[in-house]
Amino acid sequence: MKLNHKSSVLLVVLAVVLLFLPFIADALLGRGWVRILDFALLYIMLALGLNIVVGYAGLLDLGYIAFFAVGAYCYALLGSPQFGLHWPFWIVLPLGALLACVFGVLLGAPTLRLRGDYLAIVTLGFGEIVRIFLNNLNAPINITNGPQGINMIDPIRLGTFSLSSEQSLFGLSFPAVHLHYYLFLACTLLVIFISMRLQDSRIGRAWAAIREDEVAATAMGINTRNIKLLAFAMGATFGGAAGGLFAGLQGFVSPESFGLTESIMVLCMVVLGGMGNIKGVVLGGVLLVLLPEALRHGAGPMQQAWFGKTYIDPESLRMLLFGLALIAVMLLRPAGLWPSRQRQRELTEEHEDYDSTR
Amino acid sequence: MTQPADTLLQLSAVGKRFGGLVALSDVTLHIKRGEIYGLIGPNGAGKTTLFNILTGLYFLDTGSFTFDNNSYTRCPPHRLAQAGIARTFQNIRLFANMSALENIMVGRHLRTRTGIWGALTRHAAARAEEATTLQRAYELLRYVGISCPAHTLAKNLSYGEQRRLEIARALATEPKLLALDEPAAGMNATETASLKTLLQAIRAGGITVLLIEHDVKLILGLCDRVAVLDYGKKIAEGVPDEIRNDPAVITAYMGGHAT
């Protein structure tokens, strides 16, 4: 890919900012915000995974958080005192992603003939089934510990390098949240890379064709069954990987982290940012994680300053403003904040003579 | 059943019903390699149903059909496309929000192989394949005579160009049989004339063409042989001159009791 001067400068600036972001946030806003950044990255990964299913292939999935849950519980069960297993991170994380991928195919297979509203309802049910299973698998044999969730999950450890304790590198000291930030950033960049490569490929075009017109796609020789399953599997894999990272960061998982609200939240990131456009989805993820937190931290003090007392609980105000923001975006920018633009690919350069000679 | 070597498509006693409605009954016909075969008939005669059976969107209830000496009686659409039957649709079904170029590139899907791994790593073979796909797409754009920039969204093309793009997309699948469902519908005389030239060029390139059309003048001027459907039955078949004078055809089109 060729980049012009301006965009390469922008890219370098962005890289530097991302590299120092945890230190900047730590210094300006406090350590809690670095943790929020970690979560933002997790949600971006989730949103990018869902974007493959919803944005690329056009399959509305309302139970996406189930794959996040599968990845998180896989990590939790294999790396905690629950069963006394302490498998290493580099086995457990891929295993969680793989298991989520299997679940993706399991969800995909019976829903191949469904579209639109019907697909949405089945996937919604699937998400709930997974959550309810996790909630109730504490009897007759205790597997998931039920609503109490699983505690004391092993921290992420790469070899002997633990991310859960402060580490000194290059003369700088990196607290745990910072270390997680860099790992999550690397994973997010990998997910972005995979998404970009897939979108601009034979597979990506097949997904787009199914999204646009399934009948025409199948008449053009696309095996819609396999291609749709592939979309479900890819999306679920990202979800599962993000789930494993989530469990490692939190050290604790319980079914209530994987409710319908979370699924809707991830879907909102995709739709609000701009379905099918990676930059838009990243923007959606950042906004929907950071804004509610900013409101949570800002709304109380602001009311104090303006009115002298807190009239509305910041927590309820958060949801109110969030709802209004969603409505505003849907009215003003129905294609999302950063909608996908028809890509004028670099590839075209060598073929431009075709256009100009006609 | 053995067929003459020059038969590409053979339909034997094909029947299809939708509940109580008999859409097709006992239709037998064959299409020879390299010909332009026309299918005409009044509205509701079963032409599009026949098309949908040939392209796997419907399964037939009775009878059978063979293509290129293989039976494809109950076969999903993508397998038939693989076998070499490509189609266009009566009501244009392009991938509206993809560019003209991408529409054709999708047509190349089943003649290419790059999977996930190739897409991610872009190894040499994947890059070469992608380049060929792109080049072929540009060639087809020019071949069917679309003059808009290649990156125009399909939905922004003019009506005539959308029809042409559908043909280009179908050609991208490297078909043996190109099945066109009313390609001239809504076209003016000039556009129809250039469509005729295009179809003749396609046939000259070695592709057999099956054509459903309402424009009887186009059909009779272009096709080597023509079959006439009425109420799901084949009422006539032959070279255009025979069809023009066939009493059953005249009755079907004019109604009443022509003699």
Average pLDDT of the segment spanning A202-222: 94
Task: Report the domain count for chain A.
Answer: 1
Query: Is position A288 within any domain?
Result: no
Instruction: Say how far apart CA A96 and CA A74 lie, in whole Å.
Output: 5
Give how far B132 is from chain A: nearest CA, Å.
12
Q: Which residues of A53-81 are buried (b: 16+ CB within 10 A; e: fewer)?
A: bbbbbbbbbbbbbbbbbbbbbbbbbbbbe
pLDDT at A317 over 80: no
Dmax (CA) of chain A: 75
Taking the model in full, what pTM does it have? 0.89
Of all residues in chain A, the percent with pLDDT exceeding 70 is 94
Sorting pLDDT into bands at 50, 70 and 90, what band is A83? confident
Ranges under pLDDT 50 in chain B: 258-259
Sorting pLDDT into bands at 50, 70 and 90, what band is A357? very low
**Per-residue confidence (pLDDT) for residue A15, from 0 to 100:** 92
Instruction: Say how far apart CA B210 and CA B38 lie, in whole Å.
Output: 6
What does the DSSP 8-state code read for residue A169?
Answer: E
By three-state DSSP, how is residue A158 classified? Answer: strand
Instruction: Say how far apart CA B169 and CA A355 lie, in whole Å.
Output: 18
pLDDT at A350 over 50: no
Of the candidates A198, A213, A222, which has its C-beta nearest B109's C-beta? A222
**Per-residue confidence (pLDDT) for residue A3, from 0 to 100:** 63
What does the DSSP 8-state code read for residue B226?
Answer: E
Q: What is the mean pLDDT of chain A?
A: 86
Query: Is position A346 within any domain?
Result: no
Q: Which residue of B has its CA nearest to A276?
A: B97
Instruction: Say how far apart CA B119 and CA B185 lie, in whole Å.
Output: 39
DSSP letters, A31-56, are HHHHHHHHHHHHHHHHHHHHHIIIII
With CB atoms and an 8 Å threshold, state whether A194 touches B130: no
Whether A283 and A183 have beta carbons less than 8 Å apart is answered as no
With CB atoms and an 8 Å threshold, state whether A220 touches B134: no
The residue ranking higher by pLDDT, A297 or A154, is A154
Dmax (CA) of chain B: 71
Cα–chain-centroid distance for residue A220?
Answer: 32
By three-state DSSP, how is residue A162 classified? Answer: strand
Instruction: Say how far apart CA A163 and CA A18 lie, in whole Å.
Output: 19
Chain A residues contacting B, CB < 8 Å?
Answer: 194, 197-198, 201-206, 208-209, 212-213, 215-224, 230, 234, 342, 344, 347-348, 351, 354-355, 358
By three-state DSSP, how is residue B107 classified? Answer: helix
**Per-residue confidence (pLDDT) for residue A172, from 0 to 100:** 77
Query: Is position A80 within any domain?
Result: yes
Whether B17 and B62 have beta carbons less than 8 Å apart is answered as no
With CB atoms and an 8 Å threshold, state whether A216 touches B95: yes
Q: Which residue of B has its CA nearest to A209?
A: B95
Chain A residues touching residue B89 (CB < 8 angstroms): 216, 219
In the chain, the amino acid numbered A210 is I
**Per-residue confidence (pLDDT) for residue A2, from 0 to 100:** 56
Chain B residues touching residue A113 (CB < 8 angstroms): none
**Per-residue confidence (pLDDT) for residue A218, from 0 to 100:** 94
**Per-residue confidence (pLDDT) for residue A318, from 0 to 100:** 72
Whether A273 and A285 have beta carbons less than 8 Å apart is answered as yes
Query: Is position A194 within any domain?
Result: yes
B105 and chain A: CB distance < 8 Å anywhere?
Answer: yes
What does the DSSP 8-state code read for residue B87?
Answer: E
In the chain, the amino acid numbered B244 is R
Question: Domain range spanning residue A130?
Answer: 35-274
Chain B residues touching residue A203 (CB < 8 angstroms): 114-116, 119
Query: Is position A6 within any domain?
Result: no
Query: Is position A188 within any domain?
Result: yes
What's the burial of A201, exposed, middle or buried (CB within 10 Å: 0-12/13-18/19+)? buried
Average pLDDT of the segment spanning A175-187: 91
Query: Is position A342 within any domain?
Result: no
Instruction: Say how far apart CA A82 and CA A184 lie, in whole Å.
Output: 25
Host H or E run for residue B41: none
Dihedral, CA atoms, B240, B241, B242, B246, nearest 10 degrees?
100
Average pLDDT of the segment spanning A236-250: 94
Whether A114 and A60 have beta carbons less than 8 Å apart is answered as no
pLDDT at A322 over 90: no
With CB atoms and an 8 Å threshold, state whether B150 touches A354: yes
Give how far A55 is from chain B: nearest CA, Å.
13
- Give which of B149, A145, B132 is closest to B124, Cα–Cα: B132
Instruction: Say how far apart CA A119 and CA A265 lie, in whole Å.
Output: 18
Instruction: Say how far apart CA B172 and CA B189 lie, in whole Å.
Output: 27
Q: What length is written for chain B?
A: 259
Q: Which residue, among A1, A196, A202, A344, would best test binding to B if mutated, counting the most B CBs under 10 Å from its CB?
A: A202
B99 and chain A: CB distance < 8 Å anywhere?
Answer: yes
**Block residue for tokens 């459907």:** B229
Query: Is position A63 within any domain?
Result: yes
In the chain, the amino acid numbered A207 is W
Interface pTM (ipTM) of the complex?
Answer: 0.91
Average pLDDT of the segment spanning A292-317: 76
Query: What residues contact A71, with CB distance under 8 A and at least 6 apart?
Result: A96, A97, A99, A100, A239, A240, A241, A242, A243, A244, A246, A247
